[in-house]
Amino acid sequence: MDYSKIDPNINPKIMTPEQAMLLSDDEKLAYFYRVRVKHPRVTTVRDDLETMMLPGSGTDIALLIGPTGAGKTTLGESLVEEIIKAHKSELVNDLSFIPAIYISAPASGEKRFSWRIFYIELGRLLKEPLMDKKQETRLQDGRMSVKSVTAGSTVAGLRMAIEDALRFRRTLLVVVDEVVHLIRGANENDRLVHMDALKALTELKGVNLTLALIGSYDLYELMTLSGQFARRCAIVHFQRYLSGTGNDADKKAFRNSLGTLQEYFPLKGIPDLTEMSDELQYACVGCVGILKDTLQRMLTFAVRNKGRWTDKCLFKALLTEGQIARILEETLKGEQNIAKAIFGSGSLNAESRTSEKVACR
């Protein structure tokens, strides 16, 4: 269901759960869908991303990597909202200023990534007009010419329009989600071309732009494409909450997130779910995003049951053992792969150890 089409005023920021209980079933679901929980992982990751946006940080591209359902998309959207809010006074004085935008890399259904669709959507977000009329211009012998085409915009023309728009809008941050669509099915050369195209946006004269690329652990492969790209980017790990012995802080943080989410439930009669926090942490692979999705499904079953809670509402909402095993397998492998590449994990001894390994190959 597309909750964006439901009244935006049905929002936990301006409504209490008691008020939400008076809403229709679909409105209750929209209300809970819009709940966002701040927890330690979110704060740490957001602080790291904001550090990379500082002038002189030396980082042009941040790879926000983590397991599915960790909350990466929600964080990316909220970061854009916070940056826009932080520049509110400038926006009043300069209506052309667009400090940050969020875009999801499109899955076009084609074998190759569609830069045309990507640039057109980026142009729409930058409020660039006539994106269907952009043509490549060339300077030859002191004269400007336009490349002849039969119809529509050229990809080169779209790119040039985006570059001009980024300068004019003075954009500071572009968050690109679902970056897996750039690398899925692409060979190493194609991936390098894709990343060069993105990196070039951060090198425009007059633009102080940071790119935040969001995706699963597959994004780590981008760090191995070239030394030049690796030098200009950093990995920020949105880690899940770990369970088991020695992870009491993680278990407590997950339990607190669960308790906060339950406070927003627009239904009565639901038991205290924090009493089964350990079980739910396992069932959600320690990811608050998966937890939120699970509770959303649970709420859906409850409201469709005329607002009556039963244990079946929760059991039906849980992932299957097969789903959990698959997510956990991918997560454990990803965590192992990026362990020594995460932002803040540098070491003065790393250079000598790495040199020895490279020399032995």
Is pLDDT above 90 for 59? no
Other CB atoms within 10 A of residue 261 CB: 21
Is pLDDT above 60 for 138? no
Q: Residue 140's pLDDT is what?
A: 54
> Which position has the higher pLDDT, 34 or 351?
34
Q: Residue 4's pLDDT is what?
A: 77
Q: Residue 235's pLDDT is what?
A: 86
Is pLDDT above 50 for 223? yes
3-state secondary structure of 69: coil
Q: In a 10 Å sphere around its CB, with 0-12 CB exposed, 13-18 middle and 19+ buried, how is residue 194 labelled?
A: buried
> Which position has the higher pLDDT, 114 or 145?
114
Least confident of 115-124, 243-252, 350-359: 350-359
User: To the nearest whole percent, how much of the chain has pLDDT over 90?
Assistant: 51
Is pLDDT above 50 for 35? yes
> Which position has the higher pLDDT, 227 or 329?
329
Overall average pLDDT of the 208-231 stretch: 83
Overall average pLDDT of the 299-303 stretch: 94
Is pLDDT above 50 for 251? yes
- Taking 3-state DSSP, the helix, strand and coil percentages for the chain, each rounded to the nearest 5, stand at 55, 10, 40
Closest to 334 measured CA to CA, from 245, 191, 238, 248: 238
3-state secondary structure of 347: coil
Q: What letter would DSSP give residue 316?
A: H
CATH of region 40-126+168-237, choose from 3.40.50.300, 2.40.30.260, 3.30.2010.10, 3.30.930.10: 3.40.50.300
Q: Residue 25's pLDDT is what?
A: 93
Contacts with 125 (C-beta within 8 Å, 6 or more apart), sequence order:
98, 101, 102, 103
Confidence at 148, pLDDT banded by 50, 70, 90: very low
Domain ranges of the chain: 3-28+242-319, 40-126+168-237
Q: Residue 169's pLDDT is what?
A: 94
Q: Residue 121's pLDDT is what?
A: 93
Is pLDDT above 80 for 98? yes
Q: What is the pLDDT of residues 80-91, one digit of tens each?
A: 999 999 999 999
Overall average pLDDT of the 160-171 stretch: 92
Give the dihedral of Cα atoms 215, 221, 224, 226; nearest 10 deg.
-60
Other CB atoms within 10 A of residue 110 CB: 10
CB 176 within 8 A of CB 212: yes
Q: Residue 344's pLDDT is what?
A: 65
